[in-house]
Chains A and B, each alone.
Chain A
Amino acid sequence: MQDSTPALEITGLSKSFDRPAVNGLNLSVRRGEFYGLLGPNGAGKTTILRMVAGLLQPDSGQINILGIDAARDPVAAKRVVAWVSDEPMVYDRLTPLEYLEFIAGLWQVEASEAARRAEDLLGWLGLAPHAHERCGGFSKGMLQKVALAGALVHEPQLIILDEPLTGLDAGSARQVKDVLKARVASGVTVIMTTHILEVAERMAERIGVIAHGRLIAEGTLEELRVKAGRGDTSLEDIFLDLVAADADAEKVA
């Protein structure tokens, strides 16, 4: 029987810088779900995900990752999460294999298992021929794939990706999407922000739309169509309608 505890449960999450960036957010993502988080620039998507990954301290609210209170036991929460940002977190002077060894060491993956997974991941992502080259000379797309391999080598239960397809060519983007789909099929939860709405439309089972640090709409593509009052239309049209309606409501408020 599958555990019914959500992969991610966010309650009343708030964070302000010079202005509120996240404003009393409530969000629940089911296990084994591919969740797309959309929103205009500055909506607060990255701030939300950085708080979930433990990179930012919330002002208030609670984050539970697979039932673990991230504030109370951050190390346990981090053990099951992987974070991939649009800026690849890779060391120029390590090779992809050495980078994966470093991450496996941080997550304390058993050595022989880590070596096997590293070999598999580099193969899947087309990086095997470059496994012994230092990352310094890699293109943005290759670096992003190395970072993704790093995120997957410790087999996380929740993968958080912030604009992972930025700068990738069509082939690399396909490889990344295939790897993510395979992970979701095996029960892993993926939360991804993207400005490429077509990707969200095709890959995400549910989509959350964020504006002004709040969740303004959530559901499957069909549910969003109903909410926006538009029939057979694209996610792009729905997204633009929802964001425009929220902007109008903000102005009135």
Chain B
Amino acid sequence: MIAAPAPGSLLWFARHEIALNWRDWAALMTGGKRMRTYVALLVFASIAVVAHLIAASLLMPHIQTGIIADKATLAGLTGAGILFFTVMLSQAMESVTRAYYARADLDLILSSPASSRRLFAIRTLSIAGSTMMLSCLLAGPAINILAYYDSPAWLLAYGVMAVLAAIATAIAVGMTIALFRIAGPKRTRFIAQILAAIVGAGFLIGIQLVAILAFGQYARFSLFQSEAVLAAAPAADSLFWLPTRAAMGNGFAFGVLALAGFGLLALVIASSSASFGRYAVAAAGVPETRYKAQTKAKLFRRTSQKQVLRHKEWKLLARDPWLLSQTLMQILYLLPPALMLWLNYGQDAGMFIVVVPVLVMASGQLAGGLAWLAISGEDAHDLVVTAPVSPRAILTAKIQAVLGVIALVLAPLLLLMALSSPRAALVTGIGALLSAGSATLIQLWFRAQAKRAMFRRRQVSSRVATLSEAFASIMWAGTAAIAVTGAWLLAIIPAVIALIVMGIAKALSPKATD
């Protein structure tokens, strides 16, 4: 029989964390229902099969011609590796910030005689573990296909993922502590969240921007295969390619990388765990901070009930920088299409095929987040419901508030587009309205009262809502992309699919199944 670890020890904390994380994850996946466990397993298995098929179709041509570690291959793989690393770093930054700010059991543990250093060490390792898991899930199909059809040495890529996760976690901890020292506990969370979002989206958007500027097209990875990049890249035997060589199965390269990566994480944990309790306590004091209102606007003006509700939504959003950053960060993805519009102004009608669906889809995604905040994330739900306003008027006002923000974001881009092609602007406008309207309706059908602070968990609270929101946005984007080419009849197909998706979502919504 295995003896239980001593209370307060590293192993004891580890067991506690693993049990909590597992139950949290299982509850989110299954909603606590046994049937859903089987359904979730079936869905995972199906996704895994499809992902492996896609990976095989993409990689088989390369495998058949033989993969050699030349400069072009190393550059391509390194590009993909950097992309994964930025996603890992972004996730690790988010998780580390949460470790300091999310109260949950922190108050209980910090007020106990148990060592906060041990708790921090375990939580940091847990962050590295979950960061690695995400990347392994994403890269797993490609690694498996390469290992099966090319060489089992590719399996070492999983080890590289673990090392990259350790490095990303170490950097995230270092950055968070630096922010605590420089910006203080009041601003650290906000700055860290913004940085995490920029890091997560920055590389992808950055290479898109460079590809647009260099080649006038969206293709991301062609950049790494371009003559200019290959000419500027170090020689194939350079140390620069060490991580990529490790992923390709070079044992020595992996050893060096693992030593450096895991060593860095150990060093960061050892040097920062002592300050964890102090900074976590400082972060706990942030909600107690009182903010003086800066507004000089005249209060108690005569307005309609709908106006009052709309203004309240906009005011709350504008005053919550964290929520604003989480919601509007999707605007970052509009930068590449905006740049394309700018560069191709009046010249290339073909670029609308790329730009229009991006704008339509971004509108849907943005509307989904805002609609959740307005409809489900009502912090004073009882107050609004007991007001002498009809439920219909409340919903109308809230939907208007959401669409108002979308219109504000989209208007400059539509205007720019209209100067070049009024028809493309009209198609985009209608597509964006349909996409945003669909996302808002889905949020309405799946509304479940929650605190605004739960915004990040909205996507896991209902998978049907999240998936149908995404599918509907994609279908409306497809409709707009086809419509802008003038193939109106063909555009009906994705439009009908979008409507079917909406119908299924409505049928599966809690109200319909009650």
Quick one: closest A residue to B384, CB to CB? A106
Quick one: closest B residue to A117, CB to CB? B300
> Given the complex, which residues of A lie within 8 Å of B303, measured CB to CB?
105
Question: Shortest distance in angstroms between B514's beta carbon and chain A's nearest beta carbon?
Answer: 13
> Given the complex, which residues of A lie within 8 Å of B387, measured CB to CB?
78, 103, 106-107
Binds A, one of B136-144, B173-181, B210-218, B315-323: B315-323
Question: Shortest distance in angstroms between A190's beta carbon and chain B's nearest beta carbon?
Answer: 16
CB of A191 closer than 8 Å to a CB of B: no
Q: Assess whether A137 is in contact with B290, with CB atoms less than 8 Å apart.
A: yes
Quick one: closest A residue to B387, CB to CB? A106
- In Å, the complex CA distance between A98 and B299 comes to 7
Given A108-B305, A111-B302, CB of A94 within 8 Å of CB of B316: yes
Residues from 92 to 130 in A contacting B, C-beta threshold 8 Å: 92-95, 97-98, 101-108, 110-112, 114-115, 118, 130
> Given the complex, which residues of B lie within 8 Å of A150, measured CB to CB?
383
Question: Shortest distance in angstroms between A133's beta carbon and chain B's nearest beta carbon?
Answer: 5
Question: Shortest distance in angstroms between A50's beta carbon and chain B's nearest beta carbon?
Answer: 8
Q: Assess whether B308 is in contact with A102, with CB atoms less than 8 Å apart.
A: yes
Interface centre among A76, A81, A83, A118, by most B CB within 10 Å?
Answer: A83
- In Å, the complex CA distance between A54 and B390 comes to 11
Residues from 296 to 333 in B contacting A, C-beta threshold 8 Å: 299-303, 305, 307-309, 312, 315-316, 319-320
Binds A, one of B257-265, B350-358, B374-382: B374-382
- In Å, the complex CA distance between A53 and B381 comes to 13
Quick one: closest B residue to A99, CB to CB? B380
Q: Assess whether A79 is in contact with B388, with CB atoms less than 8 Å apart.
A: yes
CB of B385 closer than 8 Å to a CB of A: yes
- In Å, the complex CA distance between A107 and B384 comes to 10
Quick one: closest A residue to B308, CB to CB? A105
Q: Which of A76, A98, A137 contacts B287 (CB 8 A)?
A: A137
Q: Assess whether B301 is in contact with A54, with CB atoms less than 8 Å apart.
A: no
CB of A132 closer than 8 Å to a CB of B: yes
Question: Shortest distance in angstroms between A169's beta carbon and chain B's nearest beta carbon?
Answer: 17
CB of B293 closer than 8 Å to a CB of A: yes
Residues from 58 to 106 in A contacting B, C-beta threshold 8 Å: 75-76, 78-79, 81-83, 85, 89-95, 97-98, 101-106
Given A75-B390, A93-B316, A98-B299, CB of A55 within 8 Å of CB of B292: no
Interface centre among A53, A93, A107, A114, by most B CB within 10 Å?
Answer: A93
- In Å, the complex CA distance between A79 and B383 comes to 12
> Given the complex, which residues of A lie within 8 Å of B382, measured CB to CB?
53, 55, 83, 85, 89
CB of B271 closer than 8 Å to a CB of A: no
> Given the complex, which residues of B lie within 8 Å of A89, measured CB to CB?
379-383
Q: Assess whether B289 is in contact with A91, with CB atoms less than 8 Å apart.
A: no
> Given the complex, which residues of A lie within 8 Å of B295, measured CB to CB?
98
Q: Assess whether A102 is in contact with B312, with CB atoms less than 8 Å apart.
A: yes
- In Å, the complex CA distance between A140 and B299 comes to 25
Q: Assess whether B300 is in contact with A133, with CB atoms less than 8 Å apart.
A: no
Question: Shortest distance in angstroms between A66's beta carbon and chain B's nearest beta carbon?
Answer: 13
CB of B64 closer than 8 Å to a CB of A: no
Q: Assess whether B388 is in contact with A107, with CB atoms less than 8 Å apart.
A: yes
- In Å, the complex CA distance between A85 and B382 comes to 9
Question: Shortest distance in angstroms between A103's beta carbon and chain B's nearest beta carbon?
Answer: 7
- In Å, the complex CA distance between A111 and B303 comes to 9
- In Å, the complex CA distance between A136 and B452 comes to 13
CB of B500 closer than 8 Å to a CB of A: no
> Given the complex, which residues of A lie within 8 Å of B385, measured CB to CB?
54-55
Count A-side interface residues using an 8 Å CB cutoff.
42
- In Å, the complex CA distance between A101 and B308 comes to 9
Q: Assess whether A93 is in contact with B320, with CB atoms less than 8 Å apart.
A: yes
CB of B386 closer than 8 Å to a CB of A: yes
Q: Assess whether B386 is in contact with A136, with CB atoms less than 8 Å apart.
A: no
Q: Assess whether B389 is in contact with A101, with CB atoms less than 8 Å apart.
A: no
- In Å, the complex CA distance between A118 and B300 comes to 10
Given A114-B300, A133-B290, A136-B291, CB of A91 within 8 Å of CB of B316: yes
Given A83-B386, A89-B381, A107-B388, CB of A137 within 8 Å of CB of B291: yes
Q: Which of B290, B293, B316, B389 contacts A106 (CB 8 A)?
A: B389
CB of A181 closer than 8 Å to a CB of B: no
CB of B105 closer than 8 Å to a CB of A: no
Quick one: closest B residue to A53, CB to CB? B386
Question: Shortest distance in angstroms between A123's beta carbon and chain B's nearest beta carbon?
Answer: 16
> Given the complex, which residues of A lie within 8 Å of B290, measured CB to CB?
130, 133-134, 136-138
Q: Which of A90, A91, A97, A111 contacts B301 (CB 8 A)?
A: A111
Question: Shortest distance in angstroms between B319's beta carbon and chain A's nearest beta carbon?
Answer: 4
Q: Assess whether B291 is in contact with A76, with CB atoms less than 8 Å apart.
A: no
> Given the complex, which residues of B lie within 8 Å of A76, measured CB to CB?
388
Q: Which of A106, A111, A134 contacts B300 (CB 8 A)?
A: A111
> Given the complex, which residues of A lie within 8 Å of B292, measured CB to CB?
132-134
Q: Assess whether A137 is in contact with B289, with CB atoms less than 8 Å apart.
A: yes
CB of B288 closer than 8 Å to a CB of A: yes
- In Å, the complex CA distance between A138 and B319 comes to 17
Q: Which A residues contact B (CB, under 8 angstroms)?
A: 53-55, 75-76, 78-79, 81-83, 85, 89-95, 97-98, 101-108, 110-112, 114-115, 118, 130, 132-134, 136-138, 150
Q: Which B residues contact A (CB, under 8 angstroms)?
A: 287-293, 295, 299-303, 305, 307-309, 312, 315-316, 319-320, 379-390
Could you name 24 residue pairs across A and B whose Cβ atoms are closer than 8 Å?
A: A53-B382, A54-B385, A55-B382, A78-B387, A81-B386, A82-B386, A89-B381, A90-B379, A91-B316, A93-B320, A94-B315, A98-B293, A98-B299, A101-B300, A102-B308, A102-B312, A103-B383, A103-B387, A104-B300, A105-B303, A108-B305, A133-B291, A134-B290, A136-B291
Name 4 extra pairs, CB < 8 A, besides A75-B388, A137-B290: A81-B386, A83-B383, A110-B302, A132-B293
Q: Sorted from nearest, which 9 A-B pairs have the closest CB atoms?
A: A105-B308, A137-B290, A89-B380, A106-B387, A115-B300, A79-B388, A89-B383, A93-B319, A78-B388
